């Protein structure tokens, strides 16, 4: 079933600048082959539930396996019968506001 998640995976309690660790997480997600988009606060991943959750786990464990306490914030939208919701949702809103 198609699943769109917005996930933030970050080290917890390791300092002020987290870009290096976050880049490691994003690299795992991008290499997964699933559609994804990274913004300043979250990365969206879309695909079948099991595939998406596997990527979330792998991306989380890239830090956790180094002994780094890791925080995960995840929001999921499971919408049967729909695909490409990561782009379609934004297009619908933009069309309403005339962009």
Gyration radius from the chain CA atoms = 15
Q: Mean per-residue pLDDT for 30-42? A: 97
Residue 67, pLDDT score? 94
Domain containing residue 52? 2-97
Query: Does the pLDDT of residue 99 top 80, yes or no?
Result: no
Give residue-wise pLDDT tens across range 42-91. 999 999 999 999 999 999 999 999 999 999 999 999 999 999 999 999 99
Q: Mean per-residue pLDDT for 12-40? A: 92
Domain containing residue 28: CATH number: 3.30.70.930
Q: Mean per-residue pLDDT for 37-43? A: 96
Q: Does the predicted model carry a pTM greater than 0.85?
A: yes
How many domains does the structure of the chain reveal?
1
CA atoms within 13 A on the CB side of 75: 6
């Amino acid at each position: 079933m198609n699943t769109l998640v917005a996930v933030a995976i970050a080290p917890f309690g390791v300092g002020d600048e987290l870009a290096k660790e976050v880049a490691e997480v994003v690299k795992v997600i991008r290499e997964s082959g699933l559609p994804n988009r990274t913004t300043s606060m979250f990365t969206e991943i879309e695909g079948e539930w099991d595939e998406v959750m596997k990527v979330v786990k792998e991306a989380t464990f890239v830090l956790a396996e180094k002994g780094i306490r890791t925080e995960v914030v995840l929001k999921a939208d499971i919408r049967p019968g729909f695909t490409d919701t990561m782009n379609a949702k934004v297009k619908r809103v933009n069309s309403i506001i005339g962009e």
